Amino acid sequence: MGRRPARCYRYCKNKPYIKSRYCRGVPDAKIRIYDVGNKKAPVDDFPFVVHLVSNEIEQISSEALEAARIAANKQLIKYCGKEGFHLRIRAHPFHVIRINKMLSCAGADRLQTGMRGAWGKPYGRVARVGIGQVLMSVRCRDANKNAGIVAFRRAKFKFPGRQNIVLSTKWGFTNYSRDEYELLRRMRAPANEEEVARLQKGFLIPDGVGVKYVNAHGPLGY
């Protein structure tokens, strides 16, 4: 018997039901890799970011997430090169879906109980997403902006419902805007007195794919 279509499990109808000591025998999620591309690239290398944002309250299967990851990855490798991007899947399939298996062989009516004891067995995993939730993000160079947009347009076809492609104003996967990042990383000179005062309070140092804010006062001040 094949998989049920994802439309059977699209809506968030029940309470979250996760793998636990009470809910055993749950199959592994289809998606196992959440970061692809040049995931160790320093924060300064990839300033441009695109997000794929959900516009529905729904459940997305782990199979759909894996299919979207493959589609986006293939497109990005083609136009950015293997080391020219960092793609991150931001939705994780923790919710367990169930199936009440029915027999369809001869004489099944003697064995089946219909809707008696209809609580199903674990069948797969889905991610429960809301409106405005980020599903996938990619950081790359400014020159590869269009490749990121096209990759997410391809990934959208793998998901049910509606999604929006959003161009971020932040630098990479950090919480700082480009202007603020360049100032605090000392990539540019302060333009006015306000920026000088801001720089005197603290600055940023690279920390893997993100940055760390260093306060200018106290025993650790530089």
Percent of all residues in the chain with a pLDDT value above 90, rounded to a whole number: 76
Q: Is the pLDDT score of 95 beyond 70?
A: yes
Q: Is the pLDDT score of 181 beyond 60?
A: yes
pLDDT tens digits, 132-179: 999 999 999 999 999 999 999 999 999 999 999 999 999 999 999 999
Question: Which pLDDT value is given to residue 220?
Answer: 58
Question: Which pLDDT value is given to residue 192?
Answer: 86
pLDDT tens digits, 56-89: 999 999 999 999 999 999 999 999 999 999 999 9
Confidence of residue 194 (pLDDT cuts 50, 70, 90): confident
Question: Which pLDDT value is given to residue 163?
Answer: 97
Lowest mean pLDDT among 94-108, 116-130, 131-145, 174-188: 94-108
Task: Provide the whole-model pTM.
Answer: 0.90
Question: Which pLDDT value is given to residue 106?
Answer: 65
Per DSSP, the residues of the chain read --PPPGGGG-S--S---B--SSS--PPPPS----EEESTT--TTT--EEEEEEE-S-EEEEHHHHHHHHHHHHHHHHHHH-TTSEEEEE-----EEEEE-----STTHHHH--TTTT---EEEEEEEEE-TT-EEEEEEE-GGGHHHHHHHHHHHHTTSSS-EEEEE-SBSTTSSSBHHHHHHHTTSS---SHHHHHHHHHEEEEEETTEEEEEESSSTT--
Q: Is the pLDDT score of 221 beyond 80?
A: no
Confidence of residue 112 (pLDDT cuts 50, 70, 90): confident
The mean predicted confidence, pLDDT, of the chain is 92
pLDDT tens digits, 10-37: 999 999 999 999 999 999 999 999 999 9
Percent of all residues in the chain with a pLDDT value above 70, rounded to a whole number: 95
Confidence of residue 108 (pLDDT cuts 50, 70, 90): low
